[in-house]
Amino acid sequence: MKPRAWRWRRLGHLLWLCTFLAGSARAEAPPRIAILIDDLGRVLDAGRAVIDLPGPVACAFLPYAPHTATLAREAHAAGKEVLLHLPMQSAAERPLDRGGLTLDMTRTALLHTLADDLARVPYAVGVNNHMGSLLTRHPGHMTWLMQELHRRGLFFIDSRTTPFTVARRMAFEQHLPSRRRDVFLDPAPGAAEVEREFHRLLALARRRGSALAIGHPRPETIRILARELPRLQAEGIRLVPVGVLVQQQYARDQQWRLSSSPWPRVAKNSRPSPSSTCCGVPASR
Asked whether residue 269 is domain-assigned, the answer is no
CATH number for the domain that contains residue 207: 3.20.20.370
**Alpha carbon distance 254, 212 (integer Å):** 20
Asked whether residue 63 is domain-assigned, the answer is yes
Query: pLDDT tens across 237-248, in order?
Result: 999 999 999 999
Question: Cα 43–128–255 angle (5° rounding)?
Answer: 150
- Residue 93: the pLDDT is 84
- Residue 258: the pLDDT is 85
Asked whether residue 234 is domain-assigned, the answer is yes
Asked whether residue 19 is domain-assigned, the answer is no
Asked whether residue 117 is domain-assigned, the answer is yes
Asked whether residue 10 is domain-assigned, the answer is no
- Residue 256: the pLDDT is 87
> 176 to each of 34, 190, 212, how far by Cα in Å?
19, 36, 18
Query: pLDDT tens across 10-47, in order?
Result: 555 555 555 554 444 445 799 999 999 999 999 999 99
Burial 128-167 (b: 16+ CB within 10 A, else e): bbbbbbbbbbbeebbbbbbbbbbeebbbbbbbbbbeebbb
Asked whether residue 23 is domain-assigned, the answer is no
Give the residue ranges of the chain where pLDDT is below 50. Answer: 21-26, 266-279, 282-284
Query: pLDDT tens across 130-154, in order?
Result: 999 999 999 999 999 999 999 999 9
Asked whether residue 211 is domain-assigned, the answer is yes
What single letter denotes the amino acid at residue 101?
L
**How many domains does one find in the chain?**
1
- Residue 25: the pLDDT is 44
Model confidence, pTM = 0.85
Domain range holding 37? 31-258
**Alpha carbon distance 153, 148 (integer Å):** 9
- Residue 6: the pLDDT is 53
